[in-house]
């Protein structure tokens, strides 16, 4: 009765819809991270003056732009009446990995303050970054684990045998 095909198509539409919104959320989080870096000092200077931190922030910006255009490509395909394909899995994987890298950099920028949770007078941004850092780990499980997404890409895009 083609139940498996219907279920897989439904999941692809779900991943595609989520991916489109998630790229916006990732960009908003990146903008917040840049503000955090501008207002955080390390060795007496703003973190944004550190060339290594600037490179990491720039790489996150590049990754976010790639995610945005990958999402636009998937939406264009959908508007042409085509079924969502493996780009939905690519988008999900890009979100998870990009969001986790962003949250890890937020912890690095905060240094020792990254260990202080909400409720302490020394917490940064009322514990928002700590919460989203911990929450970002669950993103790699929801809607199909990152490993499943890699298998889909390997099989459907690269033509690799099932593992």
Say which residues have a Cβ less than 8 Å from residue 5's Cβ, sequence separation at least 6. Answer: none
Which of the residues 14, 97, 108, 155 is marked catalytic? 14
The answer to whether 14 is a known catalytic residue is yes
3-state secondary structure 4-25: HHHHHHHHHHHHHHHHHHHHHH
The residues assigned a catalytic role are 14
């Amino acid at each position: 009765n083609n139940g498996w095909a219907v279920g897989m198509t439904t999941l692809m539409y779900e991943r595609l819809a989520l991916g489109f919104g998630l790229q916006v959320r990732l960009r908003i989080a990146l903008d917040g991270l840049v503000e955090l870096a501008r207002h955080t000092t390390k060795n007496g200077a703003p973190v944004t003056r550190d060339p290594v931190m600037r490179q990491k922030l720039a790489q996150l910006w590049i990754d976010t732009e790639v995610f945005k255009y990958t999402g636009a490509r998937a939406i264009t395909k959908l508007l042409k009446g085509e079924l969502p394909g493996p780009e939905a899995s690519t988008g999900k994987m890009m979100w998870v990995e990009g969001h986790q890298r962003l949250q890890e950099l937020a912890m690095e920028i905060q240094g020792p303050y990254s260990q202080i949770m909400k409720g302490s007078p020394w917490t940064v941004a009322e514990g928002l970054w700590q919460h989203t850092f911990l929450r970002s780990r669950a993103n790699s499980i929801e809607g199909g684990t990152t490993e499943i997404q890699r298998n889909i890409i390997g099989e459907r895009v690269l033509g690799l045998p099932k593992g």
